[in-house]
Structure 1
Amino acid sequence: MTEEWVPPAGSWASSAARRRNMQAIRSRDTKPEQLIRRLVHAQGLRYGVAAKPLQDLRRTADMVFRPAKVAVFIDGCYWHGCPEHYVPPKTNPGYWSQKVAKNMARDRDTDQHLKEAGWTVLRFWEHESPEACALTIATTVSRLRR
């Protein structure tokens, strides 16, 4: 006889399989990030990876160009509420929709803090052309370094 899986107290997981799937999702070094980083690196630009642009702000950017004060974020369509691709979840929709809304609010707050500190914020969706993203990053960083 198999026992029914019971989530740990306070867990968001609706099943053991869902919990494993969600825990396997990477918060850094995603394929879109790696591809864009490779293209930017090939253009001779160097940057920090998963770094805090501001030491007193507990948030990291995917790429940080300190001398130029440019912070780059490559946002996942699901986790950051892409207007083109976000599909509300069917399982535990209250929790996940609220989580995505909080992520979106935190993104706006991060942008505001960085801009107030004199940083340029570049945000891209994971579905955007890596070549176009890399070109925008390289152009912006080069312009601001001058």
Structure 2
Amino acid sequence: MVRDFLILKMSKKYPEKRIIVPRFNEASGFYTTPQRSKIMSKIRGKNTLPELAFRKALYAAGYRYRIDYKRLIGKPDIAMPKYKTVIFIDGEYWHGKNWEKRKPNIKTNREFWIAKIERNMQRDQEVNQELKQLGFTVFRFWETEIKKNLNSCLTIVIEHLNEMQRSTK
């Protein structure tokens, strides 16, 4: 099994200026209501329902994987080192789906949230680029894609994995 491709930190300098996200605290002028805090505390960063559904389907199809794989940059939701394939299942809000439409709708703590989401989007691109340079195929699906079209998302990945299997024989 090949292990020399594993990297913990991005080594490449990117030409694009890194977006700075301000600290989210009262000293910085950001405030939150108790109700908002309660809502935000329920949001999970891993083992979301779409991730669980995709992993279950992938496992049922006979493929094995690692979850939240810390040995690779970006900590992919699903990593398949044997196939040099990683899968991210991104939340629409956090990763900026339809960002130009959604951006004007942010009403509270705009300075923080706009910078935060734009930095997430920038980081996604950096991670994709770094993983591709390491020879990985990167799949990114929106959570709603998984919820609405699990089978078509799964088919895309399985076709790729089957192709990888054929090419290694």
Give the TM-score, by structure 1 length: 0.84
Cα deviation digits, residues 32-78 of structure 1 (max 9, x gap): 11111111111111101111352xx3x21110001101010011111
**1:39–1:93 distance in 2 versus 1, CA, 3 Å:** same
Give the deviation of 1:113 after TM superposition: 0.4
Query: Pairwise mapping of residues 37-116 of structure 1 onto structure 2 (< 5 A)?
Result: 37-52=55-70, 54=72, 57=73, 59-83=74-98, 87-88=102-103, 89-116=106-133
Give the deviation of 1:87 after TM superposition: 2.6
Distance in 2 between residues matched to 1:48 and 1:102, nearest whole Å: 26
The aligned counterpart of 2:51 is 33
Distance in 1 between residues matched to 2:58 and 2:52, nearest whole Å: 10
Give the structure with the higher percent strand: 1
Q: Does 1:136 align with 2:151?
A: no
> Structure 2 regions of 5+ residues with no counterpart?
1-24
Using the aligned pairs only, state the percent identity: 34
Task: Give the paired residue count.
Answer: 137
Cα deviation digits, residues 71-126 of structure 1 (max 9, x gap): 10011111001128963322212211111100000000000000001100001111
SS at 1:51 equivalent: coil
**1:84–1:11 distance in 2 versus 1, CA, 3 Å:** closer
> Structure 1 regions of 5+ residues with no counterpart?
1-6
Give the deviation of 1:131 after TM superposition: 1.1
- Is the contact made by 1:36 and 1:130 (CA closer than 8 Å) also made in structure 2? yes
Distance in 2 between residues matched to 1:8 and 1:42, nearest whole Å: 48
The aligned counterpart of 1:19 is 37
Q: Which has the higher contact order (CA 8 A, sep 6+)?
A: 2
- Is the contact made by 1:65 and 1:141 (CA closer than 8 Å) also made in structure 2? no
Distance in 2 between residues matched to 1:86 and 1:20, nearest whole Å: 26
